[in-house]
Amino acid sequence: MNKSEDKPDMRILKTSSCKSTTGKSTLTYQIGVTPDSIVHLRISKNSGAGFFSDEWIALDDILQVLKKRSVDSPIMSHFLTPLLKGKSVNTSASVLAALSDLKPLQPLPKKQRLHELLEPKPFLDQVNQLMASEGNTAGATKKVSAGKTTRKAPTKKVAVKKRATVKRKTG
């Protein structure tokens, strides 16, 4: 079972590579799932010189943001900016490139930085298959759906506080 270094409770379901939206570098991205079955996506490497954040973003949060935009509006990277912690402006464009590779999005013809949202069901089916095939215990993993509202995993700060509280109580 492959675990994420920065989130030891995150189980990596898939690691893959794709070209950036500009086509100048190769990005490596990962799909992971928390113990409470919340699927996340992150960019883990960039062959180019551009900075990026390797933070995990809940897939349901990404799909919710993309669905909230005006139907006539093409998808641009800045739509994802509110989901990111602000470490790099490149991260949102990198996430769009990964989503294009995974097929819930596709670039608009002759518009390298504009995308359209496709029917997410085939992609969500693929994620559910990954979750089922990765040695999950029977019935332990919930299916991912496009309209599900998720809660975010606790931050490191919250986890440290909990550990400190437990140590004080037991120590």
| Per-residue pLDDT at 61 exceeds 70 | yes
Between CA 107 and CA 96 the distance in angstroms is: 9
Cα dihedral across residues 160, 157, 77, 94: positive or negative: negative
Q: Where are the domains of the chain?
A: 11-170
For the ranges 30-44, 106-120, 154-168, the one whose mean pLDDT is highest: 30-44
Output the average pLDDT for the chain: 78
**pLDDT, position 135:** 57
Residue 8: pLDDT band by 50, 70, 90 thresholds?
Answer: low
Find the Cα–Cα–Cα–Cα dihedral 87, 120, 143, 58, rounded to 10°: 10
For the residues 39-67, what does the mean pLDDT come to? 92
Q: Which residues pair with 18 in a beta bridge?
A: 27
Distances (CA, A) of 120 to 32, 55, 71, 126, 133: 17, 22, 15, 10, 20
